[in-house]
Amino acid sequence: MVEAVRWPEGDDYTGAHEPIELLAAFKRAAQSRHRQHVANVHRSYGAGAGLVSKRGTTQLRYAPTDALLKTLILANVDVRMDYSEFLALLFDRYGLVLGDHEAEKVLGEDEFDRKSFQNNSARLERRLRTLGMLRRLSDACAYIENPLARGAR
């Protein structure tokens, strides 16, 4: 053990010496550490997946990163798609609730604030426009465009 994993020699180590005791001590320490940091799981996984960012603030919050938004468009939009269809597709395929119509499917009418979800959708639309992946035409229709798709303009 001294050579393989640099196990402490002599009186420097006061913990368990038997493998079963050592494993039990390790398990207790891991469970204790996990209980102290259980809230970090959402932050860590969410940030890694692109669902949590610091966009517009110094605090982490549930807001998709630009990279995630671009990835969703590149993976799901072959031809120009209506913005509301895109939101429905994200809900159906990934369970993402970004607009009021999708929120209404998940929550009851009395359980959510429609205006908040409409504002959320409008903010997302502005972000997609700044990324160059959304175009609003003169007929007041917003379209998602994949710039890498064939025939994209």
Residue 149 has pLDDT above 90, yes or no: no
pTM of the predicted structure, to 2 decimals: 0.67
Residue 72 pLDDT: 94
Residue 48 lies in a domain: yes
Residue pair 153/135 in contact by the 8 Å Cβ criterion:
no
User: Which residues on neighbouring strands pair with residue 82, listed in sequence order?
Assistant: 143
How many CA within 13 A on the CB side of residue 21?
A: 5
User: Hey, is 66 helix, strand or coil?
Assistant: helix
Show the domain range for 103. 65-144
Scanning the structure block, which residue is given the tokens 């798709």? 149
Same domain? For 51 and 106 the reply is no
Residue 153 has pLDDT above 60, yes or no: no
Residue 134 pLDDT: 94
Please name which of 74, 81, 51, 71 lies closest in space to residue 63, comparing C-alpha atoms: 51
Picking from 36, 63, 90, the residue at the C-terminal end of a domain is 63
Q: What is the pLDDT of residues 19-47, one digit of tens each?
A: 888 889 889 888 888 777 766 777 778 78
Picking from 46, 63, 80, the residue at the C-terminal end of a domain is 63
Residues whose CB falls within 8 Å of the CB of residue 101, separated by 6 or more in sequence, listed in order? 84, 87, 88
Residue 7 lies in a domain: no
Q: Which two tokens stand for residue 9?
A: 């020699």
Residue pair 52/43 in contact by the 8 Å Cβ criterion:
yes
Please name which of 51, 107, 117 lies closest in space to residue 84, comparing C-alpha atoms: 117
CB atoms closer than 10 angstroms to residue 112: 15
Residue 85 pLDDT: 96
Q: What is the pLDDT of residues 74-111, one digit of tens each?
A: 999 999 999 999 999 999 999 999 999 999 999 887 88
d(Cα 52, Cα 63) in Å, to the nearest integer? 5
Residue 114 pLDDT: 87
Residue 75 pLDDT: 93
Please name which of 152, 146, 150 lies closest in space to residue 74, comparing C-alpha atoms: 146
